[in-house]
Structure 1
């Protein structure tokens, strides 16, 4: 549907027509063509052209309305982990189901295990199952779409990610489940979980809790051993007194040396045990030399202080002090991070030492403390007069300083408004925006949270107050405040990590799961501290047996280097990186962590499938009956075709065919007038 309108009253349009007619009248009232019809035609042409030209001066708008049909969507997902490898019939069944559904639905297909792939597969070799990753993918791509339901073939086992029942879409999208695997209980002893601190400190002792599940082992004895590398630390012997028993066993480890240490828990097998792959599990503890000292300063009591402090209190690596700034007289040099809640507009004398210190600064400002922001961080100042406005958050998809999970990105889309300073925002060239301000439905370019790593020190600024509302709004079943904690713990980590100032730098992950690619990034700075990758960079990796693997870095277009290393087995490695054949050298270490490998012989958990289907108002099928599944999906009340209407508005003056018609009318009139001897 096409229409043309103007923002002015209709009599302006009538006036344009009148002016065109008057102009044509004065032009043709004395012309004497042989044919009166010809005069009338040329009169109409000239009147139309002039009227349209006057009408275009009113800046009219054209509106085109389009209606698009969106068919209902069905997602078919296949469990491709090794625990379902004995049940391969679902591949052909899913192919048949897709073919029968395609005439009425848009069918999307996935297979999943430790990673997600499109389509179905017969290669069920996935070493683990991360069902929550699949739900994240569905939420990200199909939330708000015409999704009728998800058909999920699964054995109910997962050993990575979170419980799917706690996922935010678990109750909002129908999950039709198809059970795989065998629910028969076999004789088995397995380590279900090891609870430990991933980071500890030199000289400290750390607890290790081992959870063990046994099935059909009544009367048997088991021995639980804790090893450090190959050395036995402690051993315990237990008797199993029931057919299904759960044990919790505690160990203590002492951290006597720095670095990443490998530990292994081994539980002895029992007679006729079918699977012993789950009788051992390794874990790693990184031992650091000292804790980070964090100082929290404030002008006045505010609930945001407790909200941020509660995040930091959960990290045992942090020693936290809290002090009112008017009472603080110590030196800032002993701290690794200063967090300043500047929510009042009082004197600036106390801020001189903060500004001159090279300690990283997290600055939280409100509408009444713009002057403090402008003094402490002038490159990110706000030009305003202590006025405020309510804003919400919009995530910056181009942010690159640290990773932000999909759950956190989704959480940020629906939060209570904060109170931000009103004014013109300045931004440092070295800063990156984490969150933009969003006013109503309008996404602005104003920063809400930024991080900055300039030549002097690291900064982060939160241009608002009222964060406590975000925290109490973060209530996702068992993961209370998980997203709020992630956001501000990562900001704190960014500020606490000291920047490498050397000219040759290597960036890499110190711990990575076996099977994943190891990414190395290298940078070389010349004497003017300009990135340069003219020369070659080599990498020599050595495993614990002394075997050396040689690599050469590839060059990026931004004058840096990169290298991807794959297929490294579990264990500890050291490396030497050399720039220009030993002109500059960097040494380091990393560890390849073991996967949590699923056993081929595992007891399926169909109860979780039933619960997932029931809580999402769907259905768990007893077996893979294609016709029954198709009939159930067709009868789903969500099986509807949606009509989406969109309206495109643009200025008529930009429509090419109108310009062409005007020129055509002028050309025809000019040719006819000349042909008949009139100019």
Structure 2
């Protein structure tokens, strides 16, 4: 209690004493012993009331026992069921839940994990992916300031993510893996990996690479084959031994017709082979009967040219030719013309573009002849200043001509362009605004223009090779930038008329991948409409089953996740509820479950995880030993802790009851004695 509060309490006592003496001693005419009793009651009631008004605070210490946490993390992936361990895992979890020894010693917390960590115990063992490294990382964040040993019930088979054997070295808790699965090595042949491009061109041949592996000690012979429907289109005998336990087969197949061609690769199982699921793998190739040809016209050498070529040709369905203006003869064979920093030498090229109304992409920069460019076309004009400026990109989230996402332009380096105002004299949509230092402007850096059925994009700056390099530094891949550039090229290379509803989907998906379909919905003015109510109707062409699923708004598109669908061929229709607008398509899902490719528990990695974290590995039949070890481990003791709280006297409810009681007794006694 503070000193000034003590002073106030003393003052309150003096005031209460003065009031009681004045009321029942000084003012009373005939003082009796009863008046002294009344004075005492009045003193106590007034003093209590003043104490409540002063409301002094006190420090209150309390102690409690804190038990360590015990994390039980259970693998909920389908490999547990595939290895016939699902019943044993459920029984083990029930035993942990009902163990009084563990409940007395620990605060037991249960989690499940597959591709992500969940704080539930909904054990169905139906998840198609496993990421143990991610589960350990999340648990490490949750219990980073706690003493929380971790029991990891899993087969140790991870399908994607960082190697948990190494990432566990930074895990702050002790891990006690419980190994679920058969640890006995048996003879097994399987298709370890199959590499094939998603696309090919009609009447071409596409390569297929297959890696076959064998685990066993005997010399064995079998056969590898590829089937299309019921027809075997490729066959080759293969032999394995203890020392020669893998083989790589490279072959080419013909793309005889357009569309999605589905194949099955099969390694004929050995006699009495235990796991035959991993001997088959479905794959598909989309055969395209047309290739997008792009012409890049430039009168100079510049790093941008290489960046543009790499981005365009990252998509195998596109090819690019680089020519000087004087070398351009016929542009009819090209779907898109890219004009890099035009000058007077481009006169003949612009005449050809105007004559055939060819879509084009103009990139300007410090060497652009704006006097010529302003004269040769009238869609946009640049103020002539003869000065350059550095322009930073700012993504326009309201861009609605086609679907684009911000790929991190806010961290990209500036482009070099001509200083001055830009006037666009036609209908246009800005993809990127340009900033000068920290000043935001509404002037375009990258915009698309449509005029009389011709599409054009204009980039008012040079140096996009730096953007592609920055994208690699940010994501360790060129894929993000190349995909952005590919969408722009796709829009410019197409003469397809604008539609208020567009769908974006692949023609086929692998069963272990994310299956998402997107849709763009626009108003009558072709502005993105985020108020739409879209749904997708699906029909399995093999089973005739149908279902309708609502699509969710995500950024500048509507999206639905169909990863839970089973393999098969599907038709879909995306509709706008309340309007007579819909778009249809089809796709296939190839049957592939990576969890079923696994035959044994990974004892080596799980044992190493236990070693890395000062834990210990156990097998499923050692549950009693695990419980006894955890209970007896001196590292996990309950800790007595204390906490100090500042408590206000007004929070003590009994003091108010005492005040009411004192006033009531005083009133009753005075009434009884005729003083009221």
Query: Scaled by the length of structure 1, what TM-score is found?
Result: 0.59
Partner residue of 1:464 out of 461, 465, 482: 461
Alignment of 1:271-350 (within 5 A): 271-325=271-325, 327-342=326-341, 350=349
Distance 1:621 1:243, change over 3 A: farther
Pair 563,210 (structure 1): closer, same or farther in 2 beyond 3 Å: closer
> Structure 1 residue 127: deviation in Å?
4.0
1:537–1:579 contact (8 Å) kept in structure 2: yes
Describe the shift of the 1:313–1:537 C-alpha distance in structure 2 as closer, same or farther (beyond 3 A): closer
Q: Deviations over 1:290-310 (max 9, x none)?
A: 211110111311111012112
Contact persistence 1:261–1:285 (CA under 8 A)? yes
SS of equivalent to 2:594: coil
Paired residue for 1:83? 79
2:114, 2:132 within 8 Å by CA — same for their partners in 1?
Answer: no
For residue 587 of structure 2, what is the aligned residue in structure 1?
A: 590
8 A contact 1:91–1:120 mirrored in 2: no
* Contact 1:300–1:343 (Cα < 8 Å) also in 2: no
Structure 2 contact 396–430 (Cα < 8 Å) conserved: no
Task: Please state whether the residue corresponding to 1:333 is helix, strand or coil.
Answer: coil
Shift of residue 180, structure 1, vs aligned partner: 6.9
Cα 1:463–1:191, aligned 2, differ >3 Å: closer, same or farther?
farther
Structure 1 partner of 2:622: none
Shift of the 84–295 alpha-carbon distance from structure 1 to 2, 3 Å rule, reads same
SS of the residue aligned with 1:311?
A: helix
Change (3 A) 1:432 1:612: farther
Output one character per residue of 1:634-657: Cα deviation in whole Å (capped at 9) or x when no partner.
xxxxxxxxxxxxxxxxxxxxxxxx
Distance 1:177 1:398 in 2: 50
Shift of 1:395: 5.0
Q: How does 1:623-638 map to 2 (within 5 A)?
A: none
Once the two structures are superposed, the pairs formed by residues 32-431 of structure 1 within 5 Å of their partners are 80-84=76-80, 86=85, 113-114=114-115, 116=116, 118-123=118-123, 125-129=125-129, 131=131, 157-159=157-159, 164=162, 181=179, 185-216=185-216, 218-242=218-242, 245-325=245-325, 327-342=326-341, 350-355=349-354, 357-369=356-368, 371=370, 383=383, 385-393=385-393, 401-402=402-403, 409=407, 414-424=411-421, 430-431=428-429
TM-aligned CA deviation for residue 553 of structure 1: 9.4
Distance 1:564 1:339 in 2: 36
> Are residues 173 and 566 of structure 1, via their aligned partners in 2, closer, same or farther at CA, if it must alter by over 3 Å?
closer
Q: CA, structure 1 residues 555+436, in 2 after alignment: closer, same or farther (shift >3 Å)? A: closer
Distance 1:561 1:431 in 2: 20
CA distance in 1, matches of 2:417, 2:168: 35
2:478 corresponding residue in structure 1: 481
Give me the whole-angstrom Cα distance separating, in 2, the residues matched to 1:338 and 1:133: 47
1:564 Cα deviation (Å)?
A: 8.9
Q: CA deviation at 1:493?
A: 3.2
Conserved in 1, the CA contact under 8 Å of 2:574 and 2:583?
Answer: yes
Residues 218-227 or 307-316, more deviating: 307-316
In 2, Cα distance between equivalents of 1:478 and 1:118: 27
User: 8 Å contact 1:84–1:124 — kept in the other structure?
Assistant: no
Match of 1:495 among 480, 483, 492: 492
The residue matched to 1:599 in structure 2 has which SS? Answer: helix
Specify which of 561, 568, 572 is matched with residue 569 of structure 2.
Answer: 572
Contact 1:343 / 1:366 at 8 angstroms: preserved in 2?
A: no
Report the counterpart of residue 643 of structure 1 in structure 2. Answer: none
Corresponding position of 1:28: none
Q: Which runs of 5+ in 1 are unaligned?
A: 1-74, 633-679
SS state of the match for residue 278, structure 2? Answer: helix
Q: Report the more deviating stretch, 227-236 or 170-179.
A: 170-179
User: Which residue number corresponds to residue 543 of structure 1?
Assistant: 541
Structure 2 Cα separation of the partners of residues 613 and 446 of structure 1: 59
Q: Deviations over 1:484-516 (max 9, x none)?
A: 433333433343344256899776543345597
Tell me, yes or no, if the aligned pair for 1:343 and 1:367 is still in contact at 8 Å: no
- 1:451 CA displacement: 4.8
CA contact (8 A) 1:157 1:604 kept: yes
Distance 1:586 1:193 in 2: 36
Work out whether residues 291 and 319 of structure 2, in 8 Å CA contact, stay in contact via their aligned partners in 1.
Answer: yes
Distance in 1 separating the partners of 2:111 and 2:509: 26
Q: Give the Cα–Cα distance (whole angstroms) in 2 for the partners of residues 607 and 399 of structure 1.
A: 52
Alignment size in residue pairs: 533
- Give the Å deviation of 1:77: 8.7
1:480, distance to aligned residue in structure 2 (A): 5.2
> Could you say what secondary structure the match of 1:598 adopts?
helix
Inter-CA distance 356–620: structure 2 relative to 1 (3 Å threshold):
farther
Q: Distance in 2 between matches of 1:334 and 1:132?
A: 52
1:295 is paired with a residue whose SS is strand
1:351 aligned counterpart, secondary structure: helix
Q: Is the 8 A contact 2:516 2:561 kept in 1?
A: yes
Matched-pair contact (CA < 8 Å) for 1:514–1:569:
yes
Any residues of structure 2 matched to 1:484-563 within 5 Å, and which? 484-500=481-497, 508-514=505-511, 519=517, 541=539, 543-544=541-542, 547=544, 549=546
Rounded to whole Å, the distance in 1 between the matches of 2:487 and 2:634 is: 46
| TM norm structure 2 | 0.60
- Rate the CA distance shift 1:570–1:424 in 2: closer, same or farther, 3 A: same
2: CA distance, partners of 1:270 / 1:281: 17
SS of 1:316 mapped into structure 2: coil
Q: Do 1:81 and 1:113's aligned partners in 2 also have CA atoms closer than 8 Å? A: yes
Deviations 1:603-638 (A, max 9, x none): 456888999999xxx968655999999999xxxxxx
How big is the shift at 1:213? 2.1
Say if 1:619 and 1:354 are closer, same or farther in 2 by CA, change over 3 A.
farther
Deviates further, 460-469 or 597-606: 597-606
**Separation of aligned partners in 1, 2:292 and 2:163:** 37
Separation (CA, whole Å) in 2 of partners of 1:330 and 1:288: 27
Would the alpha carbon gap of residues 538 and 156 (structure 1) be closer, same or farther in structure 2, given more than 3 Å must change? closer
How far apart in 1 are the matches of 2:226 and 2:472? 37
1:606 & 1:392 partners in 2: Cα distance? 53
SS of residue matched to 1:335: coil
Aligned to 2:18: none
Aligned-partner Cα distance in 1 for 2:355–2:511:
45
